Amino acid sequence: MKALVQISRIIVGILFVFSGFVKLVDPIGSQYKFEEYFSEGVLNLEFLIPYALPFAILLIVSEILLGVMILIGYKSKFTVWSLFTLTLVFLFLTWYSAYYNKVTDCGCFGDAIKLSTWETFYKNVILLVLILLLIFKVTIIKPLFKGSIPKIITFLSLGAFLFIVQHVLTHLPIIDFRAYAVGKNISEGMSFPDDGSIPPVHDFMLEDAQQDLAPILLEKEKVMLVIVNDVHKIDKNGIPLIKEVAAKAIRKGYTVYGVSASFTDDLILVKEKYKLPFDFLFCDQTTLKTIIRANPGVVVLNKGTVVQKKNWIDVNELEL
């Protein structure tokens, strides 16, 4: 029995650490997922949407920290009951997603690993069984280290996790698992896989008033796209820096466009107000949020390949 408990402890700990880590490096992705859950068409808890990001951060940090705590055996009773509670939350969300077909990707492993809703639900069922075993045999779980070392490891881990969250919110995800990561080719991403599934890049259109310019721009060597997914939520501190780097890029022969999902009239007003040196194209907001976790942000393309991505605060680091 002791061996079974220790194996269960290791499996649960590793799963929680891995699941938490792939979301920790991109908490805004989890924010979008919770906004989807809170929306009218799903749980109808729209009053919670403004709190989606802090809720996501709390859940992510709790998940990965509890994974560390169960692995080192710190506060075993508190830890296993917290794991049980968290898993019940995940179990309900994944059951709801699967049964009602509301949220087809629960984001359990962020963008790193995609599971179907039912696969995720059954994974959580197995996880719950393992945690129940830990609850019933919690006295077997002992700290791996003596004295205050487990406590020190826990608090150092918490500090590290909070630092990572602050860093990625200020800049961009440390690890980008999406189809628009640096080095990925957007045109290639539009190709249908051999199994007939949806290609990783879809709904990528850059439309002006007359046509979709995406095929043209994806053939050019020097393209800069200024991503503004919602002009009403844009960080205004970034506009002067964006304006400056866009003007520099134009001088160096780049084709520069703003890309947004906002209404044309609103974009015209912003362009005139700040005297921006580029026109705007339209793209689906979900696609823009997938391309870059910034508003505004900058993406540099070379024949469809993403060669650079920066949040507005780091645009001076772009190599043009």
pLDDT averaged per 10 residues, the chain (length 320): 88 94 92 87 87 94 96 94 93 83 67 76 91 91 90 96 96 92 94 81 91 96 96 94 96 97 93 95 94 96 97 95
Instruction: Give the residue from 285, 279, 262, 263 showing the smallest Cα distance to 204.
Output: 285
**DSSP H or E stretch at residue 17:** helix 2-24
Q: In 3-state terms, the chain is what percent helix, strand and coil (to 5)?
A: 55, 10, 35
Residue 259: name the closest of 213, 311, 314, 199 by CA.
213
Q: What is the pLDDT of residue 104?
A: 66
Q: Is the peptide bond before 173 cis (omega within 30 degrees of 0)?
A: no
pTM of the model: 0.90
At 283 the three-state DSSP class reads coil
Retrieve residue 84's tokens.
């049980």
Taking the CA atoms of 133, 135, 137 and 142 in sequence, report the sign of the dihedral they define.
Answer: positive
If phi over 0 gives left and psi between -120 and 50 gives alpha, with beta otherwise, what is residue 182?
beta
Give domain 186-317's CATH number out of 3.40.605.10, 3.40.30.10, 3.40.140.10, 3.40.50.1360. 3.40.30.10
Structure tokens, 113:
């690993």
Predicted local confidence at residue 36, as pLDDT: 86
Q: CA of 306: how far to CAs of 26, 53, 163, 183, 202, in Å?
A: 18, 27, 27, 5, 16
With H, G, I as helix, E, B as strand and everything else as coil, classify residue 134: helix
pLDDT at 218: 96
Query: Which residues lie closer than 8 Å to 80 by C-beta, 6 or more apart?
Result: 70, 131, 134, 135, 138, 141
Q: What is the DSSP letter of 207?
A: B
Residue 106: per-residue pLDDT: 60
Q: What is the pLDDT of residue 88?
A: 92
* Distance from C-alpha of 106 to C-alpha of 147, rounded to nearest angstrom: 39
Instruction: Give how far the C-alpha of residue 38 lies from the chain's centroid of Cα atoms, to the nearest Å.
Output: 17
Q: Which two tokens stand for residue 26?
A: 């991109």
Q: Where does CATH 3.40.30.10 sit in the chain? A: 186-317
The DSSP result for 47-81, as a single string, is GGGGGHHHHHHHHHHHHHHHHHHHHHT-SHHHHHH
